[in-house]
A and B are shown apart, each in its own frame.
Chain A
Amino acid sequence: MTDPTPDTPAAPGPRRRRDPLGRAPLLLTVPAALGLLILVVPLVTMVAATDPASLVAALGRDVVREALWLSILTSTAAMVICLVVGLPLAWVLARVGFPGRRLVRSLVIVPMVLPPVVAGVALRTAFGRSGLLGEPLLGLTGFAFPYTTWGVVLAHVFVALPFVVISTEGALRAAGPGYDDAAATLGASRWLTFRRVTVPLALPGIAAALVLGWARSLGEFGATITFNGNYPGLTQTMPTLIYVERQSDADAVLALSLVMLLVSVGVLLALRDRWLVTA
């Protein structure tokens, strides 16, 4: 009974476990394989087409390093802001019953389905130099968002926040209001309950939401270039750099794209067992 060796002889049977319901139908397995190929083939060909030497060379260029650094910096800053405003927004949606909650949730989702270029245009009308909020801001402080690194962060927040809020809300709901009740009967204020019970229980989900938001933000192109243009060192992120280089240097584009792929896969691998994969 207490023998720790796990290699006890397996029950006799076929080496490959057979599905008792029979073979999966070809009408499903063939399209499934096709779908997988569409996703995988371009990535494989891209890796195959890239000259490793050009990858090293690309990373040695200042403009690339700047763009990569700016991408990581702005995406991370955007996630800090998404956490500060998105977690409370998700909590309100998950825990506070108020009339119009469904409407608010719909408003949160709209930027998610909006074409990013349109998001850039919308940001201009609000935060542009002559925008509704941008103009008084410029008058008061002399600061304007467009064509600045802060403008990039703002565009990232606008595009990624819906993802963060909606997945965080799911995590908060899964964390169970029953525990909030228990904390309240023990005398905890709602703020204390939020800090010591709700957030710790939802932490894996919150972290997953931020990682997804970060990845979304890292790849953001449309809103960023529409709102901020493409100034190296200031507003030029990796996707906008790739777009510019695409017109001149095909080798560099491949190398830059591979860098993005590696960063994305790296994030996925770092989290694969923890939060992202459920089965």
Chain B
Amino acid sequence: MSAGGEVRGLPDGRRGGLSASSPGGARDAPVAGLSARLAVPGRLDVELSAAPGDVVAVVGPNGAGKTTLVQALAGLVPAGGEVRLGGADLGSLPPQHRRAGVVFQDQRLFPHLSALENVAFGPRSRGVPAARARDTARDWLDRLHVGELAARRPGRLSGGQAQRVAIARALAAEPALLLLDEPFAGLDVGVAAALRIELSRHLAAYDGVAVLVTHDALDALTLATRVAVLDRGRLAQTGTPQEVAARPRTEHVARLVGLNVIREGTTFRAFPPSSVTVSLHEPDDSARNHWRGTIRGASPHGDQIRLQLHGDHDLIADVTPAATRDLGLTPGREVWLSVKETAITTY
């Protein structure tokens, strides 16, 4: 159905250059599930698996190893372990033989080539004749609604247009594994929203495994079929977006989905910021869930004010603007926080 479909299974003259120890080149493998075990000393140690058609959102704070994971999967950083895609181990293959397409955070469109030639680069690299590769490229640019920009150099594209071209370039190469590193970072909110909707369509039509690194809970919830939470180079949690959003196991994810999470041994207790009561004195009711905290910051959140608090636990609490004024809830203020037991989900 896709013009790019013609590309697959072409005779490949470069295969002779592969070492004998990796007889099954990635490109002959049928599109199939991903099963990876990757170790980059000091930066990453994870196991990740996904079924064909899965979109795995990788979330985590800065420095958690998200970009390293993308690079290790693509073969751009040396990593121990293995990357199995449809049975073949890509771990020992260089990037150009992995069929892993990357949409880089900074796009990395070739500045000396037009948008069309950028997108045609992948098919041409795999031996498709120039004219056919350009047809494929034109088709992909049209699908991403930037067909009229085909002749432009990347320097004359806006951020959103460049990101569309970058996505078209990655998809035109017919990757079995699609890696997107924060595809909406640095885009205007409106541009990102439009692109998110469109990307969800392309990802739904994509039959390989997609890995999407994101900072945004919305991406994880709207685009992903699975979520993998990275924390300091390790997987802290995996699950469906709904599971992870409802029962976050790291503070980072809890903040992304707007929840408080407290870890007590092996159990987690989550509650929404709207259920937190803020008072200036220690509550004299017998509720056992109360903590001291210092206000660190305050910002508008809907018609409420969201307070960031630091204390026994780092928590967020939503209060009314009137309460903020009456109680004098300004940064630096020491307060008591309490939560009704019934508002807490324990898991």
> Residues of A at under 8 Å CB distance from B?
178-179, 181-190, 192, 196-197, 200-201
Q: Find the B residue at minimum CB distance from A203.
A: B112
B125 in contact with A187 (CB, 8 Å): yes
Which residues of chain B are near A187, meaning CB under 8 Å?
A: 96-97, 99, 122, 125-126, 173
Q: Does B100 contact A (CB under 8 A)?
A: yes
Chain B residues with CB under 8 A of A186: 96, 101, 121-122, 125, 169-170, 173
Q: Does B110 sit within 8 A of A, measured CB to CB?
A: yes
- By the criterion CB–CB under 8 Å, are B106 and A178 in contact? yes
Query: How close is B132's CB to chain A, nearest CB, in angstroms?
Result: 15
B108 x A201 contact (CB < 8 A): no
Known contacts being A186-B125, A189-B14, A196-B121, is A181 close to B94, with CB within 8 Å?
no
CA distance A189 to B93 in the complex (A): 12
List of 4 A-B pairs having minimum Cβ-Cβ separation, nearest first: A184-B95, A188-B125, A186-B122, A182-B108
A181, closest chain B residue (CB): B76
Chain A residues whose CB sits within 8 angstroms of the CB of B14 once the complex forms: 189
- Is there a chain A Cβ closer than 8 Å to B211's Cβ? no
Nearest chain B CB to A182 CB, angstrom units: 4
Q: What's the Cα separation between A91 and B170 when bound, in Å?
A: 27
The docked-state distance in angstroms from the alpha carbon of A192 to that of B125 is: 8
Question: With A182-B104, A183-B121, A196-B121 given, is the CB distance from A188 to B96 under 8 Å?
Answer: yes
Number of interface residues of B (CB under 8 A): 27
Chain B interface residues toward A at CB < 8 A: 14, 17, 74-76, 94-102, 104, 106, 108, 110-112, 121-122, 125-126, 169-170, 173
A236 to chain B, nearest CB (A): 43
Q: Are A185 and B76 in contact (CB under 8 A)?
A: yes
Q: Is the CB of A179 within 8 A of B108?
A: yes
CB neighbours of B111 from chain A (8 A):
201
CB-defined contacts of B126 to chain A, threshold 8 Å: 187
Tell me how far the C-beta of A203 lies from the nearest C-beta in chain B, rounded to whole angstroms.
8
**Most chain B Cβ neighbours within 10 Å, of A179, A187, A196:** A187
Q: Is the CB of B110 within 8 A of A179?
A: yes
Residue from A182, A189, A200 in contact with B112 in the complex, judged by beta carbons closer than 8 Å: A200
User: Taking the nearest CB of chain A, how far is it from the CB of B106, in angstroms?
Assistant: 7
Contacts A188-B96, A189-B14: A182 and B122 contacting too (C-beta < 8 A)?
Answer: no
Chain B, residue nearest A199 (CB): B112
Which residue of chain A has the shortest Cβ distance to B94 in the bound complex? A184
| Neighbouring B residues of A185 by C-beta, 8 Å | 74, 76, 95-96, 98, 100-102, 170, 173
B337 vs chain A, min Cβ distance (A): 46
With the chains together, A152 CA to B75 CA distance in Å?
Answer: 47
Task: Tell me, rounded to whole Å, the shortest Cβ–Cβ distance linking B150 to chain A.
Answer: 17
Tell me, rounded to whole Å, the shortest Cβ–Cβ distance linking B154 to chain A. Answer: 11
Residue numbers in A under 8 Å from B108 (CB-CB): 178-179, 181-182
**Contact between A183 and B102 (Cβ–Cβ < 8 Å)?**
no
Across the interface, do A197 and B76 meet the contact criterion of CB distance under 8 Å? no
Interface centre among A185, A188, A189, A197 (most CB of B within 10 A): A185
Contacts of B74 in A (CB 8 A): 181, 185
Q: Find the B residue at minimum CB distance from A186.
A: B122
What is the bound-complex CA distance between A21 and B97, given in angstroms? 58
Is B121's CB under 8 angstroms from A184's CB?
A: no
Are the C-beta atoms of B110 and A182 separated by less than 8 Å?
Answer: yes
What is the bound-complex CA distance between A267 and B142, given in angstroms? 46
A186-B96, A187-B99, A187-B125 known, 9 other contacts, Cβ within 8 Å: A178-B106, A181-B74, A183-B121, A183-B125, A187-B96, A187-B126, A189-B125, A190-B96, A200-B112
Q: Could you give 27 example pairs across A and B, Cβ below 8 Å? A: A178-B104, A179-B108, A179-B110, A181-B104, A182-B108, A182-B110, A183-B110, A183-B121, A184-B76, A185-B76, A185-B95, A185-B96, A185-B100, A185-B102, A185-B170, A186-B101, A186-B169, A186-B170, A187-B96, A187-B125, A187-B126, A187-B173, A189-B14, A189-B96, A189-B125, A196-B121, A201-B112
